[in-house]
Copies of this chain bind each other. A is one copy, B any other.
Amino acid sequence: VSAEVVGEVAPAIGAADLEPRWVRVRWEDGRVSRYHHLWLRDNCPQLRHPATGHRTVDTAQIPADCRPTAVEVVGGDDLRVTWASDGHVSTYPASWLAANDYSNGVRNARPVPVLWDAADIDVIPRASYPRLTADDAVRRRFLTGFVRYGLGLLSDVPCMPGTVLEVAARFGEVRTTSWGKVFDVRSVVDANSIAYTNLPLATHTDEGYRDPAPTVQLQHVLRADARGGDSTLVDGFRLAADLRHEHPEAFRLLATTVVRFRFVDAATELECDAPVIDCFPDGELRAIRFSNHSATPFLLDFDEMEPYYAAYRLFGDMRESPRYRLRIAMEPGELYMVDNRRVLHGRTGFSAGGARHLQSCYIERDELVSRLAVLARAEVEDI
């Protein structure tokens, strides 16, 4: 029933006592856990949808005076609670109680990102695309790495236009935007973006002016005849973590100041307000949005302008420094995938003469993570 994977075998329950506001569980190994009455009723395993584990009661409708008349241990493995209001009986497995033992510090763990810089080029997840399509274990390893590093590189991708959509479909559903499902990156006359020139493109997250911004970008190299045009990639979470440690006030400014990103052309007008560093309320990193070209003029308190610029430029310097910035000369048939809420990408300038052609598309991260989780179930079954 619980969403949590129980990592170890839970000890048996020795005894359970009914207290005025909670149930006290004494485990056979001597530890004590406490579970509030309301929490127990709200999470009754017998009031969950059998297929999805979804709660079938409205938490707000549970009577405020909801309390047990009796608690007992059944077979050493289950806690059985009988409820005063309606006589309902709830049975909680010991393993589930242990996995959700908030009174002893059990919390929802988020996957911990592995931070990287330019020295870590060899640990970036890589796979051959034909092998990945043929072998679930290869796909699983690649996606596990992608979730950890926010980046993955594929090789041997067929150099046919449109293939990036096929690759994307292996990991999620393509997000169509006003640019279409797939968009071509090459030099064009009267470009509506620096991306479509041969100028260098400083590292950035894509589509900062969209709300929500796309969460995963795929970029497939079809031709790379021009001199230059190396791909550049930076771990924005690494930048933020180092900034937080070395320049906490700069971090604070970037995490608390909301700026505006904007794109306007004849057919489009996109806008998003967000901080450069987006944190969860508990302070953990949630997203990076660094799109210098699309940031509108900062409109801040006069006395905050210079400190904010100092912080913003420091982050901007870090992202382009050789210490943090990976530089990869991608060949035709190679493709990278980035977590667009974490990893910044760009390119060096290239000669105007040679042809350079990339195709890009977006998917959303939730589908990718879901597919990985389902693949990982098969792995557990394999063992």
Contacts and interface: CB of A to CB of B under 8 A. Distances in A.
Interface of A: 2-3, 21, 34, 36, 38-39, 42-43, 49, 51-56, 58-62, 100, 102-103, 106-108, 110, 173-178, 190-194, 202, 209-212, 215, 255-260, 262-265, 267-273, 275, 280-282, 292-302, 305-306, 309, 312-317, 319-320, 364-367, 369-370, 373-374, 377
A320 B60 contact: yes
A366 B270 contact: yes
A177 B60 CA distance: 30
A192 B58 contact: no
Given A39-B298, A58-B292, A194 B49 contact: yes
Contacts of A373: 269
Interface centre among A190, A191, A264 (most CB of B within 10 A): A264
A22 to B, nearest CB: 8
5 contacts: A49-B192, A267-B374, A268-B370, A271-B366, A273-B280
Nearest to A180: B173
A99 to B, nearest CB: 9
B309 A38 contact: yes
Given A56-B194, A306-B36, A297 B100 contact: yes
Contacts of A194: 49, 54, 56
Contacts of A55: 292-295
Contacts of A53: 262, 264
Contacts of A309: 36, 38-39, 42, 59
Given A260-B3, A373-B269, A316 B366 contact: no
Contacts of A60: 202, 292, 312-317, 319-320
Contacts of A370: 178, 268-270
Nearest to A37: B306
Contacts of A190: 51
B281 A366 contact: no
Interface centre among A21, A191, A263, A377 (most CB of B within 10 A): A263
Contacts of A103: 302
A252 B103 CA distance: 22
Given A177-B173, A298-B102, A292 B3 contact: no
A298 B100 CA distance: 9
Contacts of A58: 202, 292, 316, 320
Given A38-B306, A212-B366, A312-B59, A296 B108 contact: yes
Contacts of A54: 193-194, 263, 293-294
A263 B364 CA distance: 16
Given A39-B298, A178-B370, A281-B256, A51 B265 contact: yes
Nearest to A100: B297
A56 B293 contact: yes
A32 to B, nearest CB: 12
Cβ-closest 6 pairs across A and B = A60-B316, A269-B373, A212-B212, A173-B176, A256-B281, A54-B293
A107 B51 CA distance: 50
